[in-house]
Amino acid sequence: MAAGIWNLLFGLAALAAGASGQFHFIGTNSSTLLMAVGGAIAAFGVYQLVRARKPGG
């Protein structure tokens, strides 16, 4: 469950950093890509949290 929380927080931070326009994905000059990757990591964190709350999961 802790991994899901960390992924959610890290993903939201990357999403916010990309939205600010001051940060870019490593090796590129794309803040849009940083936002996409941050969103994917946040979505994975939500998936982990939902799966951890299910009984027997």
Considering its fold, how many domains does the chain have in total?
1
Average pLDDT over residues 10-38: 94
- Say whether pLDDT at 31 is over 60: yes
Q: Mean pLDDT throughout 6-17? A: 96
pLDDT bracket for residue 57 (50, 70, 90)? low
> Using only C-alpha atoms, what is the Rg of the chain?
13
Give the domain extent around 17.
2-53
Residue 18: predicted pLDDT: 94
Range 14-38 average pLDDT? 94
